[in-house]
Structure 1
């Protein structure tokens, strides 16, 4: 029974041209949503709709000479839509994350057909930044690092040792900052990299251990930021106190001479 129902659905979709497809694209790129025709006939009509409200964004009526994308009420599509006059395909230029959603094309005339696209638009990826985090080091023989990215969404941030995944963190929200820690041994010879990726692209930053991970050579560099500030303040106070005592001694000596 189920097998018969599946065959019927496949036959129905093939007969009436009902299809659905997922398209992924990067922000700022152009994307073309194709129809299933190679050439529009004289009596064909094609309409493109967007979103759950089925907002009309483009239409073609070849007999009436209508090829319209200019009367779109949705400001998000202003000056971004083009139509292929031969096939009726819709071109969205300079696409943004605001254009994510469902697009439906309905064609009538010689052949009835309908097709739906779900378009996912991903923001541009920023380059991961690797920095040292010496105050968080758990031992004197290891180097504590952190990889960070700002204002990202729908991405995964990962540490790799060679080609092996060490750790990762994912986020589905938009405009959020991510950071991922890593601890390595000083003077280690292994290759490490931090990678941010979405379903389309990735950005990689390679770790320069010799630059960011150096054994402590003095007490100032070995302590954390807060401890360093405290030491500097105490040193300044000692210096001021010493100067005050010296001035007092000089004045006292001059007073006795007079």
Structure 2
């Protein structure tokens, strides 16, 4: 079987947010005797089939422990496959094969990103060797993967940290003067979206004492 991607011979990579609907299409003109099969190639399992000659669509959404149940739709004109309300467990390789006068195969690499949480900024205190207090802030998120966490001063990037694997907590510190009038924001982002938390210095950065705030030691 000759295999080709949507663009030349390359597999098409598709990114989508969890909860969205995704349609996989190839813009291929179907012939009357074509039979189209969609496989979740990661598992090698057929999930949908379309016979152009009889105009018959078959959906196999109970396979793979029902992960596709009530989520699959197939266009009986184009053979396009739609996955509704997609989740991260639907990430993987999908293959559309066409058998008839033409024999073709198209492969899609689908990555589903979880909805990003809004970063949380909490405060602490530290004192340097000259005993001059500064406000220490920690921007954190829980249970995220394939993201970057950044501090910005205005439009200037101050610091960034990235993680690929699922992490219990991703945190990034920032130290500012108590009377700093600049604008700061903490940004969590992946390849297709972001979430931003703006810093209110007056609200969070109050004078450190033994009874307020979280004390963070700096060395």
What TM-score, normalized to structure 2? Answer: 0.86
Q: Which residue of 2 aligns with 1:36?
A: 27
**Which of 53, 58, 68 in structure 1 is aligned with 2:58?**
68
Alpha-carbon distance in structure 1 between the residues aligned to 2:57 and 2:214: 69
**Distance apart, 1:71 and its partner CA:** 5.5
CA RMSD of aligned residues (A): 2.4
Q: Which runs of 5+ in 2 are unaligned?
A: none
Which protein has the larger Cα radius of gyration, Structure 1 or Structure 2? 1
**1:81 pairs with 2:52:** no
CA contact (8 A) 1:30 1:91 kept: yes
Determine which of 186, 190, 213 is the counterpart of 2:178: 186
* Greater helix share, structure number: 1
What TM-score comes out, normalization by structure 1 length? 0.74
Task: Choose which of 160, 175, 197 in structure 2 pairs with 1:168.
Answer: 160
Corresponding position of 2:36? 46
Deviation at 1:41, TM superposition (A): 3.0
Summarize the alignment of residues 1-258 of structure 1 with structure 2, pairs less than 5 Å apart.
18-38=9-29, 40-70=30-60, 72-74=62-64, 75-134=66-125, 136-138=126-128, 139-174=131-166, 176-216=168-208, 220-221=211-212, 224=215
Query: Cα–Cα, structure 1 residues 13 and 33, in superposed 2: closer, same or farther, change >3 Å?
Result: closer
Change (3 A) 1:137 1:105: farther
CA distance in 1, matches of 2:210, 2:40: 63
Q: What SS does the corresponding residue of 1:211 show, helix, strand or coil?
A: helix
Distance 1:53 1:224 in 2: 50
User: Cα distance 1:91–1:137, how it changes in 2: closer, same or farther (>3 A)?
Assistant: farther
- With over 3 angstroms needed to count, the CA separation of the structure-2 counterparts of 1:212 and 1:111, relative to structure 1, is same
- State how far apart, in whole Å, the 2-side matches of 1:223 and 1:82 are: 52
Pick the structure with more strand per residue.
2
Shift of 1:219: 6.0
Q: Cα offset for 1:164?
A: 1.4
Structure 1 unaligned blocks of 5 or more: 1-11, 226-258
